[in-house]
Amino acid sequence: MRTLISNPTIVNNGEQFRGSIVVNNGKIVEILRGDELPRAQCDEIIEATGLYLIPGVIDDHVHFREPGLTHKATIATESRAAAAGGVTSFMEMPNTVPQTTTIGALKDKFKIAANDSLINYSFFFGATNSNVSDFAKLNPKNICGIKLFMGSSTGNMLVDKKNELEKIFEEAKRLEMPVAVHCEESSIIAENTRRIKETEGEDPDVRFHPVIRSEEACYQSTASAVELAKRYGTHLHVMHISTARELELLTVGNADEKRITAEVTPAHLTFCDADYAALGTRIKCNPAIKSAKDRTALRQAMNDGKVDVIGTDHAPHLPEDKKGGALKAASGMPSIQFSLLAMLKLVDEKEISIETLVEKMCHAPAKIFNINKRGYIEKGFNADFVLLNPKKPHTTTTADIISKCGWSPFEGMTFNWSVEQTWVNGECAYKEGVINEDVRGKALRFNR
């Protein structure tokens, strides 16, 4: 069926223009400018005057908790929250139960997603101190990359043996697969914890979280990862950069021309340490939310090209998991249903342009991971896109399409935009608060 999305403002590839697109058999088959007409009659016309059309958001960093932690979230629940927020593809982390550190566990996740995910999907393979020999069994065209907890980890995924780190970077280079790294130095965190507990007790107030998981802990670990990547020529992707100092290790440039790329989260772009007073452990995450100065530097890095991608680190916990202080409360927050809206709020505040937003949330993930025919409004590409209303303030979505855990520090914020429709592979997966349960995403493919 040929569908015409008529007369939105299209934002793509650094420009915006009034136009239309034609979708057929899951692909974008025509891109029309101005008053250009389709080459053939369309079966369905969707009037989009006054709306913005952007490529579907690709989130390179989520924790959907399945298998093993499904009381917190599932691929089914979180993919629906994602669609409600304009996200059409996700890449999921390996620290589930069991961890995605074996070929069998990886295959199991793909089976779950094929059955349950409303949007497109891929999974990182988790590196350990003993599984680098399994990398050769991976198909680089089918998985997004290797995830490495370097310096700090939840569970037992910390890779702390120098010779194993070297093997991981060397083998990833041979396979031309990116290594996505969580960088915090555990020895520094341990010493900070010991020192703070001496004066503040066994579970210090959450405002000490960025003191414990400090700038120095982030910088030292990131510097080590950068050194290894340069030594072996490996594509390194530094996840959730949180400090101005780490930016010194990065270079300005186009995402597809760099071997060392970096991600920042909406949380680190929105909040700062002053917000612990009001939001408490709701904004407790690893690495920690840090100073207003760091937040300003991260925002600037989006604009100058030092930071390449905006990814959520979406990490659902039940409300009771967030009870406690800097040490006992769980780290992580749900945000995928609000990530696009939070960045559009920065557009309204003139912190970034909407073209930069699209570059960081749609184009750059596709370029960095070499995703096949997604991330752009281009003829022949998969029809993943979002229709946004700039004049209809967001209202909280219904309980059945938000993250399963049901809370977020972004909830209750004022957003002037709303997600009207989300299309996945040429099908409308979400429209004005309603999920199309018949839609299923596809496994991402990578041009490697």
Q: Are residues 169 and 145 in the same domain?
A: yes
User: Is 387 within the bounds of a domain?
Assistant: yes
Is pLDDT at 336 greater than 80 in this prediction?
A: yes
Tens digit of each residue's pLDDT (9 = 90 or more) over 69-117: 999 999 999 999 999 999 999 999 999 999 999 999 999 999 999 999 9
pLDDT band for 150, please (50, 70, 90 cuts).
confident
Helix pair angle (186-200, 215-232), 10° resolution: 180
User: Is 300 within the bounds of a domain?
Assistant: yes
Domain count, the chain: 2
User: Is 442 within the bounds of a domain?
Assistant: no
Q: Is 424 helix (H, G, I), strand (E, B) or coil?
A: strand
- Which residues on adjacent β-strands are paired with residue 180? 147, 237
pLDDT band for 146, please (50, 70, 90 cuts).
very high
Q: By mean pLDDT, which of 28-42, 100-114, 326-340, 400-414 is the weakest? A: 400-414
Q: Are residues 67 and 26 in the same domain?
A: no
Q: Stretch 170-177: mean pLDDT, rounded? A: 96
Q: Are residues 306 and 387 in the same domain?
A: no
Q: Are residues 383 and 250 in the same domain?
A: no
User: Is 446 within the bounds of a domain?
Assistant: no
User: Is 199 within the bounds of a domain?
Assistant: yes
Q: Are residues 26 and 123 in the same domain?
A: no
Count of beta carbons in the 10 Å neighbourhood of residue 370: 18
Is pLDDT at 160 greater than 90 in this prediction?
A: no
Is pLDDT at 396 greater than 80 in this prediction?
A: no
Q: By mean pLDDT, which of 231-240, 261-270, 405-414, 431-440 is the weakest? A: 405-414
CA 211 to each of CA 41, 158, 282: distance values in angstroms, whole numbers, following the listed order: 62, 21, 17
What is the predicted pLDDT for the residue at 365?
98
CA angle 418, 401, 282 (to 5 degrees): 80
What is the predicted pLDDT for the residue at 156?
65
The structure tokens listed for 392 are: 């209809």
> To the nearest whole number, what is the mean pLDDT of the chain?
95
Tell me if 265 sits within 8 A of 314, measured CB to CB.
no
Is pLDDT at 154 greater than 60 in this prediction?
A: no
Q: Are residues 223 and 133 in the same domain?
A: yes
CA 186 to each of CA 61, 217, 249: distance values in angstroms, whole numbers, following the listed order: 21, 7, 20
| Cα–Cα dist 290/213, whole Å | 9
Tens digit of each residue's pLDDT (9 = 90 or more) over 274-333: 999 999 999 999 999 999 999 999 999 999 999 999 999 999 999 999 999 999 999 999
Tell me if 342 sits within 8 A of 348, measured CB to CB.
no
What is the predicted pLDDT for the residue at 412?
85
User: Is 393 within the bounds of a domain?
Assistant: yes
Q: Are residues 42 and 169 in the same domain?
A: no
pLDDT band for 399, please (50, 70, 90 cuts).
low
**CATH code assigned at 35:** 2.30.40.10
User: Is 410 within the bounds of a domain?
Assistant: no
| Cα–Cα dist 405/318, whole Å | 5
Tell me if 81 sits within 8 A of 402, measured CB to CB.
yes
Percent of the chain with pLDDT over 90: 93
Q: Give, for 365, the enclosing helix (H) or strand (E).
A: helix 364-368
Is pLDDT at 153 greater than 90 in this prediction?
A: no
Q: How many helices (H) and strands (E) does the chain have?
A: 12, 18
**CATH code assigned at 83:** 3.20.20.140
Is pLDDT at 398 greater than 60 in this prediction?
A: no
Percent of the chain with pLDDT over 70: 97
Q: Are residues 277 and 385 in the same domain?
A: no
CB contact set of 192 (below 8 Å; sequence gap of 6+): 211, 212, 213, 214, 217
What range defines the domain where residue 226 resides? 56-368
Q: Are residues 276 and 338 in the same domain?
A: yes
User: Is 354 within the bounds of a domain?
Assistant: yes
Q: Stretch 51-56: mean pLDDT, rounded? A: 98
Q: Are residues 252 and 154 in the same domain?
A: yes
Q: Is 307 helix (H, G, I), strand (E, B) or coil?
A: coil
Q: Are residues 343 and 273 in the same domain?
A: yes
Q: Are residues 234 and 290 in the same domain?
A: yes
| Cα–Cα dist 51/154, whole Å | 42
